[in-house]
């Protein structure tokens, strides 16, 4: 019996989480229209020959084994997935490759322990006694129970806890149609504070990493062009360690490319000297949980010292205000704190001195951060899943971070 290599083992025993394979049809044509084909033509011809030789169907889909959601090319034979590759026509995420995690998703699809039909408990909780029932019976019993609960306790008695990406929206619609606001997802135990600001300000829960993600741009002739340049000249990571702990592949790649192609500076604000901090141009250690205090001081400094007539102080891009609502209301509320004194440290709120006392970062460093962020265009302020994502202050920090990104 021949030995089974690790690579062959992964290929044979795995695949991406491919519940959506059958319906996925985004093939080469759409990518060609978007000017996405970056692989040499001879390589693509070799792929086509290999597909023809193996007599398989090809489905294009996305991997959901992690949040990177890389593009995949899936081979199907006789209705069964036999092989998974990275999509060679779409290279922005994994550069046309597939990692071991994506390939290993086959275990999820064809696991003998996968639940493929409804099971109803017939014993006491914990006994592990279940009986198979039809989908019709399951839907009928669930619907009757929901109606019973609503009549007895009201619609708010329903709480739906969903997953993410592949099954979230359907459950949200069901819960809201039922009359309950209690639909939560993985973010409720993941990094809700981090997402609060984007959801409130721009109606998008996770927008800031997309600064580094290529996007399709509509051209004057109506075509879509994949904009794969990295224009950022400054990236400030706050509580974010993409070179060690991120699931978002394109952010790490985008940071490296922005630095290489555009001379982008990378600053890291983090209590710990992380791997990303060790590779950054500058590191700013602050006290845990004070990210919002730093953002507030940066925003106050930019608002107070902005001078459109001085190129070295022209921080604010007022043209953005024609696209937003509520700016004056926010500004009035934010400024209403400026003359108030914090009883804890005796300084006026959001001043450099106040932020120094709160964050432990010298006021000169805070001023430097605010100035460089305001004057460097384009710049990106990106807060992560660590402190801003798991601290109550993260709710405020994410709001202020959005405002800083929008107005500069």
pLDDT score of 321: 82
pTM listed for this prediction? 0.68
Give the span between the Cα atoms of 276 and 240, in whole angstroms: 8
Average pLDDT, stretch 294-313?
96
| Confidence tier at 320 by pLDDT (50, 70, 90) | confident
Whether 281 has a pLDDT exceeding 60, the answer reads: yes
Reduced to 3 states (helix: H, G, I; strand: E, B; else coil), residue 306 is: coil
Q: Where are the domains of the chain?
A: 6-110, 135-187, 202-407
Average pLDDT, stretch 180-201?
72
In this structure, of 2-11, 183-192, 392-401, the range with the lowest mean pLDDT score is 2-11
Q: Give the tokens for residue 203.
A: 């109606």
pLDDT per residue over 347-384, tens digit each?
999 999 999 999 999 999 999 999 999 999 999 898 87
Query: Residues with Cβ < 8 Å from 228, sequence gap 6 or more?
Result: 92, 214
Strands (E), 203-352: 215-218, 224-227, 234-238, 265-269, 282-284
pLDDT per residue over 118-128, tens digit each?
999 999 999 99
Strands 57-62 and 265-269 come out as unpaired
Question: Which residue in this structure is represented by tokens 């979230």?
Answer: 168
CATH superfamily of 202-407: Dimethylsulfoxide Reductase, domain 2 (3.40.228.10)
Strands (E), 99-214: 119-121, 130-132, 160-161, 183-184
Q: Are 405 and 324 in contact (CB under 8 A)?
A: no
Round the average pLDDT of the chain to a whole number and report it.
81
pLDDT score of 292: 94
**Residue closest to 313 by CA, chosen among 236, 371, 364:** 371
Q: What DSSP letter does each residue of 367-385 carry, written as one string? A: HHHHHHHHHSSSEEEEE-S
Average pLDDT, stretch 82-86?
87
pLDDT score of 390: 73
Reduced to 3 states (helix: H, G, I; strand: E, B; else coil), residue 225 is: strand
List own/partner pairs for 357-363 with CB under 8 A and 24 or more apart.
358/287, 358/290, 358/293, 359/286, 359/287, 359/290, 359/293, 359/294, 360/285, 360/286, 360/287, 360/290, 361/284, 361/285, 361/286, 361/294
The percentage of residues in the chain with a pLDDT greater than 90, rounded to a whole number, is 40
Give the span between the Cα atoms of 61 and 69, in whole angstroms: 9
Average pLDDT, stretch 22-34?
38
Whether 88 has a pLDDT exceeding 80, the answer reads: no
pLDDT score of 181: 85
Strands 130-132 and 160-161 come out as unpaired
The partner residues of 354 in beta bridges, in order of sequence, read none
pLDDT score of 213: 60
Average pLDDT, stretch 208-219?
61
Fold of 6-110: N-terminal domain of TfIIb (2.20.25)
Average pLDDT, stretch 255-263?
85
Query: Residues with Cβ < 8 Å from 53, sequence gap 6 or more?
Result: none
Ramachandran angles phi, psi of 75, nearest 5°: -100, 130
């Amino acid at each position: 019996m021949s030995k089974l290599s690790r690579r062959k083992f992964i290929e044979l025993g795995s695949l991406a989480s491919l519940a959506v394979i059958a319906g996925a049809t985004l093939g080469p044509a759409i990518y060609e229209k978007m000017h996405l084909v970056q692989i040499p033509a001879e390589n693509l011809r070799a792929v086509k020959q290999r597909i023809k030789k193996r007599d398989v169907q090809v489905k294009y889909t996305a991997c959901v084994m992690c949040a990177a959601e890389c593009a995949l090319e899936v081979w199907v034979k006789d209705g069964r997935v036999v092989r998974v590759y990275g999509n060679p026509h779409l290279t922005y995420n994994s550069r046309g490759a597939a990692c071991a995690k994506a390939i290993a998703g086959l275990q999820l699809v064809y696991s003998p322990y996968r639940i493929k039909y409804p099971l109803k408990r017939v014993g006491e909780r914990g006994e592990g006694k279940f009986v198979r029932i039809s989908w019709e019976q399951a839907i009928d019993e669930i619907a009757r129970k929901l109606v019973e609960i609503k009549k007895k306790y009201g619609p708010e008695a329903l709480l739906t806890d969903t997953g993410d990406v592949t099954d979230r929206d359907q459950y949200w619609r069901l819960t809201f149609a039922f009359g309950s606001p209690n639909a939560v997802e993985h973010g409720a135990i993941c990094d809700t504070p981090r997402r609060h600001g984007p959801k409130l300000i721009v109606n998008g829960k996770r927008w800031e990493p997309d600064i580094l993600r290529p996007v399709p741009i509509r051209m004057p002739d109506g075509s879509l062009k994949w904009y794969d340049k990295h224009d950022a000249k400054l990236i400030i990571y706050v509580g974010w360690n993409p070179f060690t702990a991120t699931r978002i592949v394109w952010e790490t790649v985008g940071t490296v490319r922005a630095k290489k192609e555009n001379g982008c500076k990378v600053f890291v604000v983090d209590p710990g000297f992380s791997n990303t901090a060790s590779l950054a141009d500058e590191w700013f250690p602050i006290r845990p949980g004070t990210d919002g205090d730093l953002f507030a001081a940066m925003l106050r400094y930019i608002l107070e010292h902005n001078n459109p007539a001085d190129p070295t102080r022209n921080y604010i891009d007022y043209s953005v205000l024609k696209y937003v609502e509520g700016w004056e209301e926010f500004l009035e509320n934010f400024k209403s704190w400026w003359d108030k004194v914090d009883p804890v440290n005796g300084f006026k709120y959001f001043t450099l001195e106040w932020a120094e006392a709160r964050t432990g970062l010298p006021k000169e460093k805070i001023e430097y951060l605010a100035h460089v962020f305001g004057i460097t265009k384009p710049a990106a302020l990106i807060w992560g899943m660590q402190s801003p994502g798991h601290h109550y202050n993260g709710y405020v920090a994410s709001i202020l971070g959005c405002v800083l990104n929008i107005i500069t």
